Amino acid sequence: MKNERAFAFIRAAALALGVVVVLVVLLPLFAGPAANLGPRELPVGVAGPGAAQFAARLDPKAFKVTTVSDPDAALREREVYGVFVVEQGGITLRTASAASPTVAALLTQVAQGARGQVVDVVPTPAKDPRGSGFAAGFFPLVLAAMLGAVALYSRVSGMLPRMAGLLTFAVLAGAAGATVLQAWLGVVGGDWLPMAGGIALLVLAVSGTVLGLANLLGTAGVGVGAILVLLVGNALAGVAAAPELFPQPWGDVGQWLPMGAGATALRSIAWFDGAGGAGALWTVAAWAAFGLAALAVPRKRPAVSTVSEPALA
């Protein structure tokens, strides 16, 4: 009894220590990038007769400056976050707040410091002027996708039934998500069908990854998938900011994961007719393909021992 009680105390202490270790890992993962947001080779454009002189005033570590001939086209193609048009009459910042309200606010400060005017070429929706609705609505999509995978793993047996449930869930979630975010809340723009398709692909990538890892690793795979797509993915996605504002390489890492790539893809679909979102869509599609492939791997069942009956005399 004394040994059992001692082991119980040791187990409790070990569990407490393990949770603290997780806390120590998660705190800098979430708080570190958020506390160090700032432009890091942020793509911006310059145009007009005084473009070269103005570009020389910008910090090359903070801004990646490109001379553009058509500012509005560069913004709509998501080549840059903003364009400083420098003419004799002054400076005009042409920006696209729909690409990132945080970046638009940052560039507005630069323009106002140079006594310039601001024109929002691709604005956020009137019902979500700060873009907070899009950012807040994105997390439930990923959370529901993960919960859907857990439900399929725990309640459905067999590769084909699980795969059918996964595809059905993704299609329905895409339709419901697009309807709520567009028609009901009005926090995203674009056409309904492309948005529904983009959300469905994101849900398939997240739920497929979690379900596929569970098929490969068992219950531990659910935990690995949740850490990968939800905890790490959410911390580095930059949904409310932009990947170029994160310390590197974390901004790039976030775009390699379903959540970060999904946010970039959905922004492109919602406000830029898909421009600038091809790479992100391919990344999300690759995760979806990985999940389906992992789900299709047959799991080995434990061998059943057989005892031969004695021969009858």
HEC profile of 239-279 = CCCCHHHCCCCHHHHHHHCHHHHHHHHHHHHHHCCCCCCHH
Domain stop point among 77, 95, 120:
120
Does residue 270 surpass a pLDDT of 80?
Answer: yes
Res. 313 pLDDT band, cuts 50 70 90: very low
Residue 150 and residue 85 in one domain: no
Amino acid at 225: G
pLDDT value at residue 312:
44
Three-state DSSP class for residue 65: strand
Do 142 and 93 share a structural domain?
no
Domain of residue 110, residue span: 42-120
Same domain, 99 and 192: no
Chain position carrying tokens 């690793």: 217
Tell whether 30 is covered by a domain: no
Element (H, E) at 83: strand 82-87
174-224 pLDDT per residue, tens: 999 999 999 899 999 999 999 999 999 999 999 999 999 999 999 999 999
Q: For residue 28, is it within any domain?
A: no
Are residues 64 and 136 both part of a single domain? Answer: no
Same domain, 69 and 181: no
Asked if 187 and 89 sit in the same domain, the reply is no
Tell me how many helices (H) and strands (E) the chain has.
12, 5
Q: Find where tokens 């890091």 sit.
A: 40
- Residue 303: what pLDDT? 47
Distance in angstroms (rounded) separating the CA atoms of residues 248 and 256: 13
Structure tokens at 260: 């970060």
Pair (213, 169) in one structural domain:
yes
82 forms beta bridges with 95
Rg of the chain (C-alpha set): 25
Separation CA 181–CA 94 (nearest Å): 27
Strands 82-87 and 117-120, by their bridges, are unpaired
Indicate whether 309 belongs to any domain: no
Tens of pLDDT, residue by residue over 127-150, are 999 889 998 888 899 999 999 999
Domains: count for the chain: 2
Q: Which residue in this structure is represented by tokens 């145009």?
A: 47
Tell whether the model's pLDDT for residue 254 goes beyond 90. Answer: yes
For residue 313, is it within any domain? no
Same domain, 110 and 167: no
Residue 304: per-residue pLDDT:
46
The token pair that represents 110 in the structure block? 């630069």
Rounded Cα gap, residues 42 and 52, in angstroms: 17
**Overall average pLDDT of the 35-47 stretch:** 91
If we measure between CA atoms, which residue out of 206, 192, 222, 186 comes closest to residue 263?
206
CB 208 within 8 A of CB 166: yes
Whether residue 95 is found in the same domain as residue 233? no
Q: How far apart are CA 38 and CA 229, in angstroms?
A: 24
**In this structure, is residue 175 part of a structural domain?**
yes
Is 18 contained in some domain? no
Cite the DSSP H helix spans in the chain: 2-35, 51-57, 71-76, 101-113, 132-155, 159-178, 192-217, 219-226, 233-236, 250-256, 258-271, 278-296
Domain shared by 175 and 249, yes or no: yes
Q: Can you give the pLDDT at residue 195?
A: 97
Q: Which of 120, 153, 172 is the last residue of a domain?
A: 120
Q: What's the token pair of residue 135? A: 């950012």
- Domain's final residue, options 120, 150, 170: 120
Query: The tokens of 298 are what?
Result: 């047959």
Which pLDDT belongs to residue 311?
A: 47
Q: Is residue 241 part of a domain?
A: yes
In a domain, 127, yes or no: no
**Partners of 47 in the beta sheet?**
85
Higher pLDDT pick, 4 / 89: 89
Tokens for 230, please give them: 């939800």
Residues 153 and 190 in one domain: yes
**In this structure, how many other beta carbons lie within 10 angstroms of the beta carbon of residue 21?**
10
My answer on whether 193 and 263 are in the same domain is yes
Q: What's the pLDDT at 78?
A: 96
